[in-house]
Amino acid sequence: MPYEPGMAEQSASWIALEGDLRRAIERAELVLYFQPIVDLATGRIESLEALLRWQHPTRGLIAPVEFLPLAEETGLIGEIGLWAVEEACHRFRFWQLACPAATPRTINVNLTARQLHDPQLASRIALALAAADLDPSSLRLEIVEESLVNDLRATSGTLRELRELGVRLAIDDFGAGASSLASFRELSADVLKLDRSFVRPLAGGTGVDEAIVAAITALGHRLGMRVTAEGIETEEQLAAVRRAGCDGGQGYLLGRPVPAHQVLDLLRRGPAPASPPETGGNLVTSSNGRAPAAKHVVV
């Protein structure tokens, strides 16, 4: 590759960021935000997804898209991913004890392709669950579909151990890349998360877009999975995924990711209001049945 102006500066920045990332865990700079996943039939929060953020001392809050590729490349993702599971389990157990009536069924944590290649992954997760005194069925691991398709043979043993452990599994970002029905059979997931690229066109789209979502949803149901639509940002998209038969929804319309200290308030108040299909005017409620007090969840 020929040298281009700025390449040296970019390389130096990358190296500096790597050094910072290696110290991020010991400095307690990594944090989790939590976004609600809403049951579209009842309007209640059915799950929370843990989303990784890096509170950098000088660069501020950094999104995972900016540092997870670096973590994958350097091999730090194993340590970071395990920390995320441990932190999510401890937080969720605290919410279960503090607010049992409103705490949803599961906490969702993402796994990367590299983590699936760790032969000790299942045992490490078992230790994290035991340390938090959390039932394995309360943890749902989200696995990006592309990593399943590309590494199915190499990760099948790990997937089997995770199932035997009792944790729940979800296929994340379904349809974003090459799809394979073999991934359904191998994973035995209980949830299929429809990629936002299918949901985005539903705002002002054609009937074809909604038909595609309905067809994927029907397939998921036939295979015994709940289907969650990601990236719901408008009332039009929400109405369309409901018509298509989706079971759950996630996106800014229903609730933005919030830091851990705001989760109890979110659970007691419920997600951002959205019109249910029957009346078009009621508010979405939390699992304790109370209506939310504000139109949007503040990050």
Would you give the distance in Å from CA 182 to the centre of its chain?
22
Q: Dump the DSSP string for the chain.
A: ----TTHHHHHHHHHHHHHHHHHHTTTT-EEEEEEEEEETTT--EEEEEEEEEEEETTTEEE-HHHHHHHHHHHTTHHHHHHHHHHHHHHHHHHHHHH-TTT--SEEEEEE-HHHHT-TTHHHHHHHHHHHHT--GGGEEEEEEHHHHHHSHHHHHHHHHHHHHHT-EEEEEEETSS---HHHHHHH--SEEEE-HHHHGGGSS--HHHHHHHHHHHHHHHHTT-EEEE----SHHHHHHHHHTT-SEE-STTT---EEGGGHHHHHHH-S-----TTTS-PPP--TT-PPPSSSS---
φ/ψ (deg, to 5) at 41: -80, -35
d(C-alpha 276, C-alpha 254), whole Å: 12
- Strand 226-229 vs strand 106-111: parallel, antiparallel, or unpaired? unpaired
> What residue ranges do the domains of the chain occupy?
35-51+77-269
Task: Give pLDDT, residue 294.
Answer: 30
Tokens of 36: 């609600």
Per residue in 155-212, pLDDT tens?
778 888 999 999 999 988 886 655 556 566 666 789 999 999 999 999 876 789 999 9
CA angle 299, 35, 241 (to 5 degrees): 120
CA angle 71, 75, 78 (to 5 degrees): 85
φ/ψ (deg, to 5) at 26: -65, -25
The CATH class, in words, for 35-51+77-269 is alpha beta
The predicted model gives 276-288 an average pLDDT of 36
| pLDDT band for position 89 (cuts 50, 70, 90) | very high
Task: Give pLDDT, residue 110.
Answer: 95
The number of residues making up the chain comes to 299
Placement of tokens 């590309």 in the chain:
150
For residue 45, how many C-alpha atoms fall within 13 Å in the half-sphere facing its CB? 34
Is a pLDDT exceeding 80 seen at residue 30?
yes
Task: Give pLDDT, residue 295.
Answer: 28
Is a pLDDT exceeding 60 seen at residue 12?
yes
pTM: 0.84
Task: Give pLDDT, residue 49.
Answer: 98
Per residue in 46-83, pLDDT tens?
999 999 999 998 889 988 888 888 898 888 999 999 99
d(C-alpha 151, C-alpha 180), whole Å: 12
